[in-house]
Amino acid sequence: MDREFLIDLFADFGPVAIRKMFSGHGISADGVNFALSLRAGLFFRADEVTIPDYQAEGSKPFQYSTRAKTVVVNSYWELPARLFDDSAELAQWARAALAAAQRAKVKKRPKGKKAAAKRAAAKKAVARKRPAKKAAKKPLRRVGKAKRAHR
């Protein structure tokens, strides 16, 4: 899917920002990424509130394969194909995906001075529990016979 197609697709939803991401595009609104357009299809952000809707449509979560295994990303689900023909309903699903992305953003660890101070305090507490390192003993210098005579 190219950029122009995506802009047209989300016309009923409202303005979206589209930027290159991975092998496709990331789609965001109000500074929050809520959809991915990849070679495998169009994926919307989902959570425990919206996943049942995707399951009812027979959609699957985004997944990719590495050399060792297949990774399932349960936070992005494939948009049902029938929605490409119904722009009004696609806009409803996009609003639900944006809401899921905003809920996920709220759940993330807060950033800022207070959060940084808490992390620093936790690190200090862990450091206090560790046993102190013993100071390394310096080897004694051997003094030759000639130097001993001068002392």
6-24: per-residue pLDDT in tens? 999 999 999 999 999 878 9
- Give the tens place of pLDDT for each residue, 126-139: 666 666 566 666 66
Q: How far is CA 143 from CA 102, 140, 148, 149, in A?
A: 73, 9, 7, 10
pLDDT at 25 over 60: yes
Class in CATH terms, 3-107: alpha beta
Which of the pair, 56 or 107, is modelled with greater confidence?
56
Q: What pTM was computed for the model?
A: 0.68
Alpha-helical (H) ranges within the chain are 3-9, 51-56, 87-107, 113-129, 145-150
Which of the pair, 71 or 133, is modelled with greater confidence?
71
Distance CA 45, CA 11 (A): 18
Over residues 96-122, the mean pLDDT reads 77
The pLDDT value given to residue 151: 57
Over residues 62-88, the mean pLDDT reads 93
Task: Name the β-bridge partners of 98.
Answer: none
The pLDDT value given to residue 22: 78
- Listing DSSP states for 32-52 in one string gives EEEEEEETTEEEEE--TTTHH
